[in-house]
């Protein structure tokens, strides 16, 4: 029968493994429910993954050195983050409604098609430019009106109507000039 002193002796190979385990930083593999495994990663990286929403609740943490596995929801840090994310209200991530202001009423910067169509329609009144810019202004004005009808808080109906009106006028003027008929309307 071996003595208790010899039974307590640790082999040199086990002693080296133990020292190596103590000196290395603790890293984990992450195994998802579908069997995919990622890592090794340290705890800071795992926290970042969890905060970013890349850590599923059914994942399992596996210590790289020892092979011990722990469900991620039982981890004291990651479990708290996941439970907190689970209890968040979805309204916290909802789109912030547009607050009307005096500037957005005068210059409808929340309705770019109407605003761009408005300026293009003004340039469509220049001779020969209206052939290209007029139809573009009409289309942008129509898109701006549709956006305004879908989102009432977005301003720009007047800009859209002006874009459509001036786009039609610019197209007609340029069309008549290109056909050579414009001077005939103004000669007695």
Say how far apart CA 23 and CA 78 lie, in whole Å: 24
Q: Can you give the pLDDT at residue 6? A: 45
- For residue 2, tell me if it sits in a domain: no
Q: Are residues 84 and 113 in the same domain?
A: no
Structure tokens, 157: 């109906």
Question: Of the candidates 59, 89, 119, which is a domain's last residue?
Answer: 89
Give mean pLDDT, residues 35-59: 86
Task: Provide the whole-model pTM.
Answer: 0.45
Bigger pLDDT: 182 vs 152: 152
Split into its structural domains, the chain has a count of: 2
Q: Which domain holds residue 83?
A: 22-89
Residue 114 and residue 140 in contact, taking contact as beta carbons nearer than 8 Å: yes
Give mean pLDDT, residues 48-64: 86
For 74-108, what is each residue's pLDDT tens digit? Answer: 888 888 888 886 655 444 444 555 565 666 566 77
Q: Which of 55-59, 77-81, 103-107, 131-135 has the lowest mean pLDDT?
A: 103-107
Q: Can you give the pLDDT at residue 46? A: 87
Bigger pLDDT: 93 vs 172: 172
Q: Can you give the pLDDT at residue 1? A: 44
Q: What percent of the chain has pLDDT over 70?
A: 71
Q: Can you give the pLDDT at residue 114? A: 92
Q: What percent of the chain has pLDDT over 90?
A: 27
- For residue 12, tell me if it sits in a domain: no
- For residue 97, tell me if it sits in a domain: no
Q: Can you give the pLDDT at residue 50? A: 84
Give mean pLDDT, residues 46-72: 87
Residue 115 and residue 156 in contact, taking contact as beta carbons nearer than 8 Å: yes
Question: Of the candidates 31, 61, 89, which is a domain's last residue?
Answer: 89
Say how far apart CA 55 and CA 98 lie, in whole Å: 33
| Sheet containing 69-71, strands listed edge to edge, beginning at the edge strand earlier in sequence | 37-42, 27-31, 60-63, 69-71
- For residue 108, tell me if it sits in a domain: yes
Q: Using the predicted structure, report yes or no on whether residue 165 has a pLDDT greater than 70.
A: yes
Q: Are residues 83 and 152 in the same domain?
A: no
């Amino acid at each position: 029968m071996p003595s208790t002193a010899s039974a307590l002796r640790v082999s040199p190979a086990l002693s080296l493994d133990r020292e190596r385990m103590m000196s290395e930083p603790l890293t984990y593999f992450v195994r998802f429910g579908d069997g995919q495994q990622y890592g090794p990663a340290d705890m800071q990286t795992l926290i970042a993954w969890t905060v970013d929403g890349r850590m599923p609740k059914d994942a399992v943490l596996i210590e790289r050195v020892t092979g011990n596995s722990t469900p991620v929801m039982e981890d004291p840090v990651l479990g708290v983050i996941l439970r907190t994310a689970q209890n968040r209200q979805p309204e916290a991530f909802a789109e912030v409604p547009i607050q009307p202001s005096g500037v957005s009423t005068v210059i409808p910067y929340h309705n770019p098609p109407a605003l761009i169509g408005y300026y293009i329609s003004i340039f469509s009144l220049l001779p020969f430019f209206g052939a290209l810019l007029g139809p573009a202004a009409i289309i942008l004005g129509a898109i701006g009106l549709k956006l305004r009808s879908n989102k009432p808080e977005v301003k720009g109906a007047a800009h859209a109507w002006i874009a459509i009106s001036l786009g039609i006028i610019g197209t007609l003027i340029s069309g008549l000039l290109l056909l050579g008929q414009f001077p005939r309307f103004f000669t007695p």
